[in-house]
Amino acid sequence: MDLAEVNFNKMKGLVPVIAQDSETNEILMVAYANEKALNLTLSTGYAHYYSRSRKKIWKKGSTSGHTQKIVEIRIDCDQDSLIYKVKQIGGACHTGYYSCFFRTLDKKGLHLNGKKVFNPQTVYKQVK
């Protein structure tokens, strides 16, 4: 489909995407999408992103099984950021936490404050 409303120009063809738990509104992760990733997300109903390091599209959960089923997509006022509101299977973070934001930051440094929901060594070993 035509995604002319989305401004992919500010960041070399990418927009930041926040994945958010559709029931609790907890923020799960931040990743990036190009136009193709967003089109795949819209057409399949599952979250797709573009990996800046691997330089390719990825479907969240294609390795771990921890997919993100899309409930709603939101776009901001200047049309250069997206929210994927999702039903998260397993956990969003490759470290085993439900959310990638499992630490707080204050003047003293970083502090652990998150919920571990799976063992990454088990989950990622299964598929090798």
Taking residues 14 to 43 in sequence order and writing x for each that binds a copy of itself by CB under 8 A, - otherwise, the string is --x-x-x---xxxx-xx-----------xx
Pick from 48, 82, 86, 91: which binds a copy of itself (CB under 8 A)? 82
CA distance linking residue 29 with residue 91, whole number of Å: 10
Is residue 94 a contact partner of residue 120, using CB atoms and an 8 Å limit?
yes
Taking residues 98 to 117 in sequence order and writing x for each that binds a copy of itself by CB under 8 A, - otherwise, the string is --xxxxxxxx-xx--x----
Q: Which token pair is 17? A: 């995407």
Pick from 8, 58, 89, 94: which binds a copy of itself (CB under 8 A)? 94
Taking residues 42 to 81 in sequence order and writing x for each that binds a copy of itself by CB under 8 A, - otherwise, the string is xx--------x-------------------xxxxxxx--x
DSSP 116: B
Q: Is 61 left (phi over 0), alpha (psi -120 to 50) or beta?
A: left
Q: Which token pair is 62? A: 């294609």
Minimum separation from the CB atom of position 106 to a copy of itself (A): 7
What is the separation of C-alpha 58 from the centre of its chain, rounded to a whole number of angstroms? 10
CA distance linking residue 128 with residue 104, whole number of Å: 33
Catalog residues that contact a copy of itself under the rule CB under 8 A.
Answer: 1, 5-6, 10, 16, 18, 20, 24-27, 29-30, 42-43, 52, 72-78, 81-83, 93-95, 97, 100-107, 109-110, 113
